[in-house]
Amino acid sequence: MQIEKLSIQELQRRIALYDDETAYKELFMEMHVPLINFSRSFVQQKEVAEEIVSDILMTVWEKRKDLERIENLRVYLYISVRNHSLKYLVKQKKINSVQLEDLDVMLATSNLNPENLLISKEMVQRVRAAIEQLPPKCKMVFQLSKEDGLKYKEIASILNISVKTIDNQLAIALQKISKTLKLSLKKPDQKKI
Question: What integer pLDDT is reported at residue 192 of this predicted model?
Answer: 47
Confidence at residue 95, expressed as pLDDT on a 0 to 100 scale? 52
Q: What is the pLDDT of residue 185?
A: 67
Domains and CATH numbers, the chain: 1-98 (1.10.1740), 100-186 (1.10.10.10)
Sorted by sequence, the CB contacts under 8 Å of residue 150 that are 6+ apart come out as 74, 75, 78, 144, 158
pLDDT of residue 147: 84
* CA 6 distance to own-chain centroid: 20
Query: What is the pLDDT at residue 189?
Result: 47
Question: Read out DSSP for 68-135?
Answer: GG-S-HHHHHHHHHHHHHHHHHHHHHT-S---GGG--PPPP-----HHHHHS-HHHHHHHHHHHHTS-
Q: What is the pLDDT along the chain (193 residues), one digit of tens a residue?
A: 334 567 999 999 999 999 999 999 999 999 999 999 999 988 889 999 999 999 999 999 999 999 999 999 999 999 999 999 989 988 887 555 555 555 555 544 444 455 554 555 676 677 788 888 889 889 899 989 988 889 999 999 999 999 999 999 999 988 888 888 777 766 454 444 4
pTM: 0.70
pLDDT at 154: 93
User: Which amino acid type is present at position 152?
Assistant: Y
